[in-house]
């Protein structure tokens, strides 16, 4: 199977664009949230540094979509990063 490549998600007008970084889903046993992040996307994404010099990757997950995953209403939701304008 070919590796997935990061892609821009369709966004409603007046919303900031995002880049798909991966997926979030419940574990098969239901006791954990599993994140699957595309390694190339994470390597190439924007980071920020805290005052102690540690670098972090800012990612976002829709709370409403995550709730639907947790409640079993949908299988997965996206993990994304906002793009600079």
The candidate with the shortest Cα–Cα distance to 6, out of 16, 17, 18, 21, is 21
Q: What is the pLDDT of residues 1-51, one digit of tens each?
A: 444 444 444 444 456 799 999 999 999 887 899 999 999 998 989 999 999
DSSP string, 28-66: TTSSSEEEEE-HHHHHHS--EE-TTS-EE---B--HHHH
**CA–CA–CA angle 12, 14, 18 (5° rounding):** 65
| Full-model pTM | 0.73
Extents of the domains making up the chain: 18-82
How many beta carbons lie within 10 A of that of residue 77, not counting itself?
19
Q: What is the pLDDT of residues 60-70, one digit of tens each?
A: 999 999 999 99
pLDDT surpasses 90 at 79: yes
Residue of higher predicted confidence among 9 and 80:
80
């Amino acid at each position: 199977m070919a590796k997935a490549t990061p892609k821009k998600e369709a966004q409603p007008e007046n919303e900031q664009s995002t880049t798909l970084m991966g997926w979030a889903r419940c574990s098969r046993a239901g006791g954990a949230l599993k994140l699957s992040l595309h390694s190339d996307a994470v390597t190439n994404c924007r980071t920020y540094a805290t005052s102690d010099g540690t670098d972090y990757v800012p990612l976002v997950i829709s709370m409403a979509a995550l709730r639907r995953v947790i409640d079993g209403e949908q299988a997965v939701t996206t993990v994304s990063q906002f793009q600079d304008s």
